[in-house]
Structure formats: structure tokens, C-alpha cells
Chains A and B, each alone.
Chain A
Amino acid sequence: GAGVSQSPSNKVTEKGKDVELRCDPISGHTALYWYRQSLGQGLEFLIYFQGNSAPDKSGLPSDRFSAERTGGSVSTLTIQRTQQEDSAVYLCASSLRWGGGDTQYFGPGTRLTVL
């Protein structure tokens, strides 16, 4: 079946611009996670969705970052007034059930470059 998909695959933007990154989870998966992977680094948790609600936003690095999920499916991560330190690969993952312990399936990521 279809896996997690993300768009765009690559995004180059100028400092100060806003960007939107999209994630399509596996159909029927109730939990959705956003992670960030900087060059040569591990994955850093950003935000978690349980259905359409986000009970854990603890990883968002600043108030320039926000995310939403609609219809229990597609999620959008928005970064306002981008900075060069926002450059990274943004990965989305979904799992069948929320609460943890289920396999998280990752998307291919969006590589964001802020010039």
C-alpha cells in the first residue's frame, strides 16, 4: 500500500519568507509526528498529532513554527520568517495507534534550504 508521502521534496527559500511543508500519512493512521534532521545529526522531535489535536508541541523550536492536521489525515508544518538555521530535512512519520509503541513509518522528507 501507499506509504507516508511528503511534499515538496526540496524547498529553497530566502531568509524571511514563509514555507509550508505537507505530510500525507498512511491511510487510517491516527498518530502523526514531525521530526527535523539537521546535516549529520539525529532526528529531533517537533510535534505530535493524535487525530487532529496536538497534545505535544514541546519540540517546536520557536513560535515561528506551527502545524495543523485536518480530517485526521494531512498535516502541514508552517515555518514563518525562515532563518538559515531552519535549513534541515523535515521528516513526517505516522503510526496506526497513538500512545506509543507502534511502528512509526517515515516519509521521504522535505529538504529545506534557507538562503
Chain B
Amino acid sequence: GENVEQHPSTLSVQEGDSAVIKCTYSDSASNYFPWYKQELGKRPQLIIDIRSNVGEKKDQRIAVTLNKTAKHFSLHITETQPEDSAVYFCAASRAGGTSYGKLTFGQGTILTVHP
């Protein structure tokens, strides 16, 4: 089955700096890669996703890049703000086929943005 590794496990940055979180996956058939943000005691919420037919996607201060050959994808947050502090999870799944879209998650990255 799919295995997703996420690094780093913790990340501390100063407000205004950039933050990068990286994930690798094992199943070459995976084609959908969402990123979720989970604030303390709250539910995970999708912040951005990317499909395997594109290499990069951007939404304001957040961008995701995908390298299918190397089987890794990354989340980039620019101009970080204290409200970006949360746990970020990457995930991978096959859209279509017998996986039915179940998400395999990385272990999470605790991002702390210091004012």
C-alpha cells in the first residue's frame, strides 16, 4: 500500500519568513495530493491540493509543487503570519481505481510562526 513520509516534524519560523514542508510517497499510481491544516482542537481543513497532471499550484501565499518522477511534493508558505501556526498534513491517494480515494497521510508538521 501507499506510504507517505513527511518532514520536518516541527518547524519554527519568524513572522514574514517562508516555510517549506516536504513529503514523499511510495505508490506511483497516486495522483491526488491534498494538504490539510489542523489547528489545535479543530478539524483538519483542506488548504490546497494538486493533481498529477500539473507540477505546481498556487493560491495567494500558499503553493504546492509536485515531482512525479521523484515521487515527492512540497508545501510552500510565504510571508508567514502567526495565524499560520498549526499542524500541517500532506496526503496522497489514487483518484479512481480500487483505492476509492482513501487518503494516506503523512505524520504531520507542527509549524510555529513567532511574531
The interface of chain A, by Cβ under 8 A from chain B, is 4, 31, 33, 35, 41-45, 48, 50, 55-56, 58-59, 91, 95, 98-109
Contacts and interface: CB of A to CB of B under 8 A. Distances in A.
Interface in B26-53: 31-32, 34, 36, 42-46, 49, 51
A71 B15 CA distance: 48
A102 B49 CA distance: 10
9 contacts: A4-B43, A31-B100, A43-B105, A56-B98, A56-B99, A104-B34, A104-B46, A106-B45, A109-B43
Given A42-B108, A100-B32, A55 B100 contact: yes
B102 interface: yes
Contacts of A44: 105
Given A103-B46, A106-B43, 18 more contacts: A31-B101, A41-B108, A42-B107, A42-B108, A43-B44, A43-B103, A45-B103, A45-B104, A48-B101, A55-B100, A91-B43, A101-B31, A103-B34, A103-B49, A104-B34, A104-B46, A106-B44, A109-B43
Interface of B: 1, 6, 31-32, 34, 36, 42-46, 49, 51, 89, 91, 93-108
Contacts of A35: 103, 105
Contacts of B91: 43
* Listed residue (A4, A35, A104, A108) with the most chain B CB atoms within 10 angstroms of its CB: A104
A101 B103 contact: no
A100 B43 contact: no
Contact of A100 (B36, B93, B105): B93
Contacts of B36: 106
A108 B43 contact: yes
B101 A102 contact: yes
A100 B42 contact: no
